[in-house]
């Protein structure tokens, strides 16, 4: 298909990866040696080529489309594979060949199109043919004997399509143990994908890629799909019909219609009859991306990103508040054909929220810079620019949308304001915390996105080492005392406490009550309450009332003042286990912090059971992880006075899955401080923090540095990220 380009291959050019068992059967039939010269023709299996490249001396590959050939070349470059020669031939029978070959691997169609293929086999060589038929196939092997005769034998039937589970495993996105006995019995791939998505086990984007491959459909980013979009085609059919069917025609190239679909089983016969292309090329998209496609059409038609001629600030007008709960799924964009400024701001709000949630952003930063407004997303702890093009009046309108939804005063732009709102995106709920700040250039805003997850992670799922997990579980078994999780904002303290709540709730013999601000996760079997300052219910007041409810365990969202600290110690003394968070940098800082809040040292020595200090480190993307030479300067800083050990470090090279960042997701890095007798004595004597830390190091404390280096050696986090986790004075070993 001429002009189709390399960015958007047709679905028939995207073959489902062969099952690994089938690839092994092909390799066994080929009987390869390390010095073999192999030809692969028409197989469309990147993994097969990659395996061959690591087994034999040289591999020649012929692809029938330039897009497929270029895609394979790019993959081989990324994997640093140099012994593969890739050629493009529109017709395989026109390919001149580079034989003789020790082995030729081909599919049935390629075999039929190359009548002289057998002549390319060297003496003793083999022609292995995979004849596909639907989702299965047959492998035949032709062996050229030394006397020139060819012996043919049939090796039997094999599968030619991977299951959804196999695809997800090959993509390295399926967590260990995700497919339990119940899910293993699910035969329907769509039902399985729904279970995995709703449980939050696999990202929606990864599920779409795997599902598209399984069904032989195309897949592409929204940016690629909307490029050169044909608005007339998108508007040529009734919108209600398109949304009911979950389809959207995007463009026609060389009489091939590019169509987005949300369901693999969608029947496109009616659509094909309506637009009458030579071929319909369906591309599978998620419901979220389907929504974004409609928004892109509406935004492009109404031109929300075009610069206004006026440089003055707009009036304090904003879209009318839609609802306390903003629903972004299953609802059509407001603008049906070039609406006003208010609708443009609302659509930009929806588009930004969908993009942020899809990319797992924790914060949205709306800022007025010297060169104009910018939008940035905080993903895995780092800020990345967003490609939203917006002018100064448009930024003001966008900030006003957030302010209205959060119940804030849009006429006040000079003083800081805070507010909150709740949204639902594709059946998932999110709390947003909005904070604004007036600057010389304009009003900035930061929106924190807090997902209300339906499931709470277990302790082992957070990245704890086996020893830290065992110790955490042990302190949770105490009948009374205080267990604290400390760290800066956004370090995952609440998530760690929730994992402990999950253990306690599973026990069933203890009553667990919580006071939180806000309740981020609901845990079955736990009585959860939320701070309500307007009604006079704060942390301290809640704990005071909890003592009359006969609880066994009390969770306090945060100890931030002397009264809450006092009530926490009181609850501990009266026989309750208290879990809480605090803002401290290190475990031993807790003692000084609580002392500053007016608590006596002897009481702290008696009641404290354990302290966990936590940071979140970026995980190396598993799809593009490669070994990397450690930075000598950083290694010297880590081991200034020691013999430098051999360090094997890794990094992410950058791929489409991690959007070129080299990292995907985060893991917890923990410092665990058990309160033993020696440390209790030191706390009772009121020793300073530095001395308390020396005592702790002589005991069983696991430091942040020790755990961080362990994660580096295990290939979980990059060595270069250690300065993000550890302060300068903690990079070197402590004495």
Answer whether 435's CB lies under 8 Å from 417's CB. Answer: yes
Q: Does 492 lie in the same domain as 446?
A: no
Last residue of a domain, one of 452, 470, 494: 452
pLDDT tens-place string over residues 488-508: 888 888 888 888 888 888 888
- Which residues 6+ apart lie within 8 Å of 62 measured at CB? 39, 40, 41, 42, 86, 87, 88, 89, 92, 95
Model pLDDT, residue 148: 78
Model pLDDT, residue 319: 40
Position 157 confidence tier, pLDDT thresholds 50, 70, 90: confident
Any domain includes 234: no
Position 201 confidence tier, pLDDT thresholds 50, 70, 90: confident
CATH number at residue 610: 3.40.50.300
Q: Does 477 lie in the same domain as 440?
A: no
- Name the least confident of 325-339, 513-527, 553-567: 325-339
Q: Does 467 lie in the same domain as 437?
A: no
For residue 435, give the H/E element and its range: strand 428-438
Per-residue pLDDT for 442 more than 80?
A: yes
Per-residue pLDDT for 570 more than 60?
A: yes
Q: Does 569 lie in the same domain as 678?
A: yes
**CA-to-CA distance for 254 and 282, rounded, in angstroms?**
15
Per-residue pLDDT for 85 more than 80?
A: yes
Domain that holds residue 681: 459-618+666-711
Task: Kindly give the pairing relationship between strand 577-582 and strand 481-486.
Answer: parallel
* Higher local confidence (pLDDT), 286 or 435: 435
Last residue of a domain, one of 129, 161, 193: 161
587 conformational bin, left if phi > 0, alpha if psi -120 to 50, beta if neither: alpha
**Following DSSP, what letter does each residue of 660-698 receive, concatenated?**
TSSEEEEEEEEEEEE--HHHHHHHHTT--HHHHHHHHHH
**pTM of the entire structure?**
0.67
Any domain includes 346: yes
Q: Does 468 lie in the same domain as 386?
A: no
Task: Kindly give the pairing relationship between strand 417-425 and strand 428-438.
Answer: antiparallel
Q: Does 550 lie in the same domain as 686?
A: yes
Position 113 confidence tier, pLDDT thresholds 50, 70, 90: low
Any domain includes 324: yes
CA 308 to chain centre: 36
Model pLDDT, residue 342: 59
Sheet holding 84-88, edge to edge: 84-88, 58-63, 37-41, 101-107, 121-133, 136-144, 150-159
Domain count, the chain: 3
Model pLDDT, residue 95: 57
**CA-to-CA distance for 732 and 184, rounded, in angstroms?**
47
pLDDT tens-place string over residues 318-375: 443 333 455 555 444 444 444 455 567 787 888 788 888 878 899 999 999 888 899 9
Answer whether 76's CB lies under 8 Å from 141's CB. Answer: no
Q: Does 443 lie in the same domain as 501?
A: no
Per-residue pLDDT for 679 more than 80?
A: yes
Burial class (CB in 10 A: 0-12, 13-18, 19+), 608: buried
Q: Which residues pair with 650 in a beta bridge?
A: 627
Q: Does 440 lie in the same domain as 508?
A: no
Neighbours of 151 (CB within 10 A): 10
Q: Does 434 lie in the same domain as 480?
A: no
CATH number at residue 120: 3.40.50.150
Sheet holding 553-556, edge to edge: 527-530, 512-516, 553-556, 577-582, 481-486, 608-620, 663-674
Q: Does 693 lie in the same domain as 605?
A: yes
Answer whether 417's CB lies under 8 Å from 403's CB. Answer: yes
Last residue of a domain, one of 452, 476, 511: 452
Q: Does 480 lie in the same domain as 498?
A: yes
Any domain includes 245: no
Any domain includes 263: no
Any domain includes 237: no
Any domain includes 635: no
Model pLDDT, residue 314: 42
Per-residue pLDDT for 227 more than 80?
A: no
Q: Does 438 lie in the same domain as 338?
A: yes
CATH number at residue 310: 3.30.450.90
Model pLDDT, residue 399: 92
**CA-to-CA distance for 421 and 425, rounded, in angstroms?**
13
Any domain includes 41: yes
């Amino acid at each position: 298909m001429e002009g189709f380009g390399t960015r958007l291959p047709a679905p028939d050019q995207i073959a489902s990866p062969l099952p690994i068992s089938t690839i092994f059967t092909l390799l066994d039939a080929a009987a390869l040696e390390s010095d073999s010269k192999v030809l692969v023709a028409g197989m469309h299996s990147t993994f097969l080529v990659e395996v061959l490249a690591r087994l034999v001396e040289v591999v020649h590959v012929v692809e029938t489309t330039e897009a497929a050939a270029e895609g394979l070349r790019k993959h081989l470059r990324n994997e640093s594979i140099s012994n593969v020669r890739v050629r493009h031939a529109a017709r395989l029978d026109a390919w001149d060949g580079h034989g003789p070959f020790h082995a030729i691997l081909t599919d049935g169609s390629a075999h039929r199109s190359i009548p002289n293929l057998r002549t390319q086999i060297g003496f003793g060589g083999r022609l292995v043919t995979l004849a596909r038929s639907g989702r299965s196939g047959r492998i035949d092997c032709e062996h050229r004997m030394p006397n020139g005769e060819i012996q043919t034998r049939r090796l039997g039937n094999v599968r030619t399509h991977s299951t959804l589970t196999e695809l997800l495993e090959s993509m390295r996105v399926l967590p260990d143990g995700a497919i339990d006995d119940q899910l293993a019995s699910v035969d329907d791939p769509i039902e399985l994908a729904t279970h995995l998505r709703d449980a939050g086990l696999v990202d929606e984007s990864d599920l779409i890629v795997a599902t598209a491959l399984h069904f032989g459909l195309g897949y592409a980013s929204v940016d690629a799909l909307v490029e050169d979009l044909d608005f007339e085609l998108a508007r040529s059919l009734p919108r209600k019909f398109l949304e009911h069917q979950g389809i959207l025609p995007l463009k026609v190239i060389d009489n091939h219609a590019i169509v987005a679909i949300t369901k693999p089983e969608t029947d496109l016969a009616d659509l094909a009859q309506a637009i009458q292309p030579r071929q319909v090329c369906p591309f599978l998209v998620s419901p979220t991306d389907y929504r974004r496609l409609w928004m892109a059409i509406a935004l492009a038609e109404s031109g929300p990103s075009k610069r206004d001629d006026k440089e003055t600030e707009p009036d304090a007008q904003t879209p009318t508040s839609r609802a306390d709960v903003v629903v972004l799924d299953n609802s059509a964009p407001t603008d049906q054909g070039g609406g006003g400024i208010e609708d443009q701001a609302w659509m930009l709000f929806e588009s930004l929220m969908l993009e942020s949630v899809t990319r797992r952003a924790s914060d949205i930063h709306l800022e007025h810079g010297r060169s104009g407004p910018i939008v940035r997303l905080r993903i895995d702890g780092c800020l990345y620019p967003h490609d939203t093009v917006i002018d100064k009046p448009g930024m003001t309108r966008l900030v006003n949308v957030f302010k209205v939804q959060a119940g804030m005063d849009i006429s006040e732009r000079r003083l800081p304001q805070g507010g909150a709102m709740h949204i639902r995106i594709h059946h998932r709920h999110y709390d947003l915390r909005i904070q604004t700040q007036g600057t010389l250039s304009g009003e900035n805003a930061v929106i924190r996105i807090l997902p209300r997850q339906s499931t709470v992670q277990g302790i082992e799922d957070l990245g704890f080492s086996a020893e830290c997990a065992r110790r955490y579980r042990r302190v949770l078994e105490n009948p009374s005392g205080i267990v604290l999780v400390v760290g800066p904002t956004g370090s995952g303290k609440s998530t760690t406490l929730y994992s402990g709540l999950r253990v306690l709730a599973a026990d069933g013999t203890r009553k667990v009550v919580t006071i939180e601000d806000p309740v981020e996760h609901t845990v079955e079997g736990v009585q959860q309450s939320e701070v309500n300052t307007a009604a006079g219910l704060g942390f301290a007041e809640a704990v005071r009332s909890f003592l009359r409810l006969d609880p066994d365990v009390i969770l306090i969202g945060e100890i931030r003042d002397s009264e809450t600290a006092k009530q926490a110690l009181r609850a501990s003394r009266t026989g309750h286990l208290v879990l809480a968070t605090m803002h401290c940098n290190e475990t031993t800082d807790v003692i000084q912090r609580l002392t500053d809040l007016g608590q006596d040292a002897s009481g702290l020595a008696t009641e404290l059971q354990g302290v966990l200090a936590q940071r979140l480190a970026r995980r190396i993307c598993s799809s593009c992880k490669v070994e990397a030479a450690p930075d000598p300067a950083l290694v010297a800083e880590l081991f200034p006075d020691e013999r430098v050990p051999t360090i094997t470090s890794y990094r992410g090279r950058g791929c489409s899955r991690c959007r070129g960042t080299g990292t995907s997701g985060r893991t917890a890095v923990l410092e665990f401080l058990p309160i033993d007798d020696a440390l209790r004595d030191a706390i009772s004597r009121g020793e300073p923090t530095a001395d308390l830390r020396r005592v702790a190091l002589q005991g069983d404390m696991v430091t942040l540095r020790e755990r961080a280096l362990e994660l580096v050696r295990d290939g979980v986090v990059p060595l270069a990220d250690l300065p993000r986790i550890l302060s300068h004075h903690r990079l070197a070993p402590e004495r």
